[in-house]
Amino acid sequence: MPRGLARDHAEKRAALRKGAATHFAEHGYDRASMASVATACGVSKALIYHYYDSKEALLFDILEGHLGALVDAVEAVPEGDAPEAHLRALIHAILANYRDADAEHKLQIDALETLPTELKAPLVDLQRRLVQRMGDALAAIGVRKEPRAVTMTVFGMLNWFYMWHRPGKGISRAAYGDLVTDMVLDGVRGL
């Protein structure tokens, strides 16, 4: 008779995802192995394989959790606000969800393309939902000139924050969110 799930199954899986994301981000997904992930997480390789049947399945779970949380946060921003307030709330929601997710974000940028099509497709769909929501918010404030380029530029400002920001030093996430929003609003008015 197969064993049931342990009471702490979800917590262990979340800890493995977080540890694996950090390990993949630090050492490169392509160079890491399930054995090195197990060592980095302080567990046996057998335990990793209890949760994931392959390195690709582990990467997919990491990215699906990260992108799914982003989509949930963005879709939770009420659309009834004034367009400028909605854009500001959207930007803040994205930056808030990037907090403590630097490794996952780096993997999204660096390793998503390595997944086979059947695993990559649902993740790309999540990305498209994020882009659509931002594009809609930008259209609502009057972006008409090169809307896709403007949308991707905003994501560029948000996506690379993790590369240079050091928590507790310099600008806070909230202040940066306001700065990006103000830059976008002033820039759109200039177009």
pLDDT reading at 5 higher than 80: no
Tell me the C-alpha to C-alpha distance, in Å, between residue 157 and each of 91, 128, 144, 183: 10, 17, 20, 10
Average pLDDT over residues 120-136: 97
Residue with tokens 């103000």: 182
Which two tokens mark 67? 């992108």
Please report, rounded to a whole number, the percentage of residues in the chain having pLDDT higher than 90: 77
Contact 104, 21 (CB under 8 A): yes
Does residue 83 belong to any structural domain of this protein? yes
Mean pLDDT of the chain: 91
Does residue 39 belong to any structural domain of this protein? no
Does residue 180 belong to any structural domain of this protein? yes
- Please report the pLDDT score of residue 1 as a whole number: 42
What are the tens digits of pLDDT across the range 82-110?
999 999 999 999 999 988 898 998 999 99
Average pLDDT over residues 144-172: 89
Cα 166 to chain centroid, rounded: 18
Provide the domain limits for residue 73: 54-190
Does residue 128 belong to any structural domain of this protein? yes
- CATH number of the domain that residue 81 is part of: 1.10.357.10
Name the band, by pLDDT with cuts 50, 70 and 90, for residue 80: confident
- Please report the pLDDT score of residue 54 as a whole number: 95
What are the tens digits of pLDDT across the range 161-175?
888 888 888 898 899
Does residue 169 belong to any structural domain of this protein? yes
Please count the structural domains in the chain.
1
pLDDT reading at 2 higher than 80: no
Position with higher pLDDT, 8 vs 59: 59
What is the Cα–Cα distance from 148 to 156, expressed in whole angstroms?
A: 12
Which two tokens mark 158? 């948000």
pLDDT reading at 63 higher than 50: yes
- Please report the pLDDT score of residue 82 as a whole number: 93
What is the Cα–Cα distance from 163 to 158, expressed in whole angstroms?
A: 10
Does residue 6 belong to any structural domain of this protein? no
Does residue 94 belong to any structural domain of this protein? yes
Name the band, by pLDDT with cuts 50, 70 and 90, for residue 191: low
Q: Could you tell me which residues come within 8 angstroms of residue 183 by beta carbon, excluding any fewer than 6 positions away?
A: 157
Contact 99, 168 (CB under 8 A): no
Closest of 59, 35, 32 to residue 48, by C-alpha: 35
Q: How many residues does the chain have?
A: 191
Average pLDDT over residues 169-190: 88
Does residue 35 belong to any structural domain of this protein? no
